[in-house]
Chains A and B, each alone.
Chain A
Amino acid sequence: SQQGEEDPQALSIQEGENATMNCSYKTSINNLQWYRQNSGRGLVHLILIRSNEREKHSGRLRVTLDTSKKSSSLLITASRAADTASYFCLILSNRDDKIIFGKGTRLHILP
């Protein structure tokens, strides 16, 4: 299966703590993207990391990519209640240009 796998599938942390979500995949990729989805809403693009990049930052977000391990992590620092959402990784395969969604991590920030 080329399905992106994310762990953990659910994560509850205290406000102010850091949240780390991981995504593993099996194919070779062109790029990997992280999206946020608030309950029942559309997906919002957060950050894109290309296969030749190892780390990217955007505000409180930090994404790493390890192509040798075929995995990526999304770190949200100093979490806030508004960060409560589902987070998905999306993989663009460079083998067949297919877009593959990860399973999603449901993040809940506790006040």
Chain B
Amino acid sequence: AAGVIQSPRHLIKEKRETATLKCYPIPRHDTVYWYQQGPGQDPQFLISFYEKMQSDKGSIPDRFSAQQFSDYHSELNMSSLELGDSALYFCASSPAGTVTNYGYTFGSGTRLTVV
């Protein structure tokens, strides 16, 4: 069965560069959530989209932006990267908004290293 696909799996960038992370949800899942997990830290919610509109916003820095496209995939754009942005970024998808009787399906994540 198709899962949530994230690309790239690993990314190394220098300080002040930009990065774009992609998330492809499970087919027919219209909601995407982005999380950031620093080394040894718990996941922190960044932002979510439902039907291509931002549905909720968490601790996402102003340097980051995200959008959901017509095919429901989502991209997280990160600019002016800082060393502290090094983390595992993963997305999750779910059907029909956030109220669901099913668990969320998480991607394997993109490991971003800023040097």
A: which residues have CB within 8 A of B? 30-31, 33, 35, 40-45, 47-48, 50, 88, 90, 92, 94, 97-99, 101-104
A residues in contact with B102, CB < 8 Å = 48
Interface size on B, residues (CB 8 A): 25
**In the bound complex, do residue B103 and residue A99 qualify as a contact, i.e. CB atoms below 8 Å apart?**
no
A residues in contact with B44, CB < 8 Å = 101
Q: Does B101 contact A (CB under 8 A)?
A: yes
| Interchain CA distance A99-B101 in the complex, whole Å | 13
| Interchain CA distance A103-B43 in the complex, whole Å | 8
**In the bound complex, do residue B109 and residue A97 qualify as a contact, i.e. CB atoms below 8 Å apart?**
no
Nearest neighbor of A46 in chain B, beta-carbon distance: B103
Which among B64-72, B73-81, B92-100 touches the partner chain?
B92-100
**In the bound complex, do residue A99 and residue B98 qualify as a contact, i.e. CB atoms below 8 Å apart?**
yes
**In the bound complex, do residue A92 and residue B100 qualify as a contact, i.e. CB atoms below 8 Å apart?**
yes
Q: How many A-B residue pairs have CB under 8 A?
A: 57
A residues in contact with B45, CB < 8 Å = 99, 101
Interface pairs A-B: 10 shortest CB-CB: A45-B103, A42-B108, A97-B98, A43-B106, A42-B106, A48-B103, A42-B109, A101-B43, A104-B42, A33-B103
- CB B106 to nearest CB in A, in angstroms, measures 4
User: Chain A interface secondary structure, helix, strand, loop or mixed?
Assistant: strand
Q: Does B33 contact A (CB under 8 A)?
A: yes
**In the bound complex, do residue B101 and residue A31 qualify as a contact, i.e. CB atoms below 8 Å apart?**
yes
**In the bound complex, do residue B98 and residue A92 qualify as a contact, i.e. CB atoms below 8 Å apart?**
yes
- CB A67 to nearest CB in B, in angstroms, measures 17
Q: Does B7 contact A (CB under 8 A)?
A: no
Q: Does B22 contact A (CB under 8 A)?
A: no
| Interchain CA distance A44-B98 in the complex, whole Å | 18
Nearest neighbor of A43 in chain B, beta-carbon distance: B106
B residues in contact with A102, CB < 8 Å = 42
